[in-house]
């Protein structure tokens, strides 16, 4: 029997409708997101424009600050400090990657934690583990929402995460742990990937290698979440998971495109609205 497809587009749309209601309740306060774009990276420009369009569609004020790739670190930090003090702005996002001469750590740490809607500031990263008011990184938090919509309760399940990046893999494991899953992390040094992935009730692959996960890597009935974004031989977007093969064995699976991707931007909007709500209290 073929797996149920987890429709990220549909879930994202439903969540955006709910956000519209929350924005309406803010009455005279308009949530504001500032996006800082450095340099000329085409992929970054595309992501930023998608984020801006998504903001506009919901009535979130979005401010784009474009800086040349020659911008100095102190100039960039000054812009961030001004946005930290700007009452119209509730979320600040610095589009990565940054030019080589700028320290990503210094930039992330300059954003005030209460406006860090990407959830990358060490205060937010720490609070994800220890508790307290925090922003969680958009991609793994979006996956948690997808599991919720799908009625998949992580408690008591074995979750296996392939990938240990700060933006996806590590926080994914932390969020699942918080919800009661037993978590295993795999990465490029893992000796035998399939031994671990085959034990997963919930398998999340966040690697960036096409067809890394085949039917031989999964247990029958597993929930398979594909974060990877790769191009196949025809140049089409695809994930880490061999969808055709794995959907014959999994109970539920996300497609690429149309799975995790639409949720990531939605969670950025979600965090921005949440931030505005916190500021309005």
Give whichever of 245 and 277 is closer to ligand NDP, judged by the CB atom.
245
Residue 95 vs 264, nearer CB to ligand NDP: 264
Q: What are phi and psi of 30, to 5 degrees?
A: -100, 120
Distance in Å, CB of 39 to ligand NDP, minimum: 19
Cα angle 120, 146, 42 (rounded to 5 degrees) comes to 50
Retrieve residue 142's tokens: 């979006």
Minimal distance, residue 90 CB to ligand NDP, in Å = 22
* 163 assigned ligand-binding residue: yes
Find out whether 165 is annotated in a ligand binding site.
yes
Query: Is 19 or 83 the residue whose CB approaches ligand NDP more closely?
Result: 19
164 is in an annotated binding site: yes
Q: Which helix (H) or strand (E) holds 225?
A: strand 223-226
| Residues annotated catalytic, as ranges | 51, 95, 118
Judge whether 228 and 168 are in contact, CB under 8 Å.
Answer: no
Q: What is the DSSP string of 135-157?
A: ---HHHHHHHHHHHHTT---TT-
What residues make contact with ligand NDP under the rule CB under 6 A? 139, 162-165, 167-169, 186-190, 193, 206-209, 212, 227-230, 260-261, 264
| E strand or H helix that includes residue 190 | none
Distance of closest approach, residue 240 Cβ to ligand NDP, in angstroms: 7
**Which residue from 239, 233, 240 is spatially nearest to 217, judged by alpha carbons?**
240
Annotated binding site for NADP(+), which residues?
163-165
Annotated binding site, which residues?
163-165
């Amino acid at each position: 029997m073929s797996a149920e497809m987890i429709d990220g587009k549909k879930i994202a749309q439903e969540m955006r409708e709910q956000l519209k209601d929350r924005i309406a309740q803010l009455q005279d306060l308009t949530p504001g997101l500032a996006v800082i774009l450095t340099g000329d990276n085409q992929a970054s420009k595309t992501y930023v424009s998608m984020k801006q369009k998504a903001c506009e569609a919901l009535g979130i004020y979005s401010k784009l600050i474009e800086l040349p790739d020659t911008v100095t670190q102190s100039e960039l930090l000054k812009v961030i400090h001004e946005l930290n003090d700007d009452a119209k702005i509730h979320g600040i996002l610095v589009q990565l990657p940054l030019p080589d001469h700028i320290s990503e750590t210094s930039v992330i740490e300059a954003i005030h934690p209460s406006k860090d809607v990407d959830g990358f500031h060490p205060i937010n990263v720490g609070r994800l583990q220890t508790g307290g008011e925090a922003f969680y990184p958009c991609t793994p938090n979006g996956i948690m929402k997808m599991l919720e919509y799908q009625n998949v309760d992580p408690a008591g399940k074995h979750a296996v995460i392939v990938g240990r990046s700060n933006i996806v893999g590590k926080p994914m494991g932390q969020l699942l742990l918080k919800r009661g899953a037993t978590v295993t992390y795999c990465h490029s040094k893992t000796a035998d990937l399939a031994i671990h992935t085959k034990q997963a009730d919930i398998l999340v692959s966040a690697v960036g290698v096409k067809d890394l996960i085949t039917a031989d890597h999964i247990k029958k009935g597993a929930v398979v979440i594909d974060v990877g974004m790769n191009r196949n031989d025809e140049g089409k977007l695809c994930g880490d998971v061999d969808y055709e093969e794995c959907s014959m064995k999994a109970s539920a699976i996300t497609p690429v495109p149309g799975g995790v991707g639409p949720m990531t931007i939605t969670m950025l909007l979600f965090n921005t609205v949440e931030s505005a709500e916190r500021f309005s209290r």
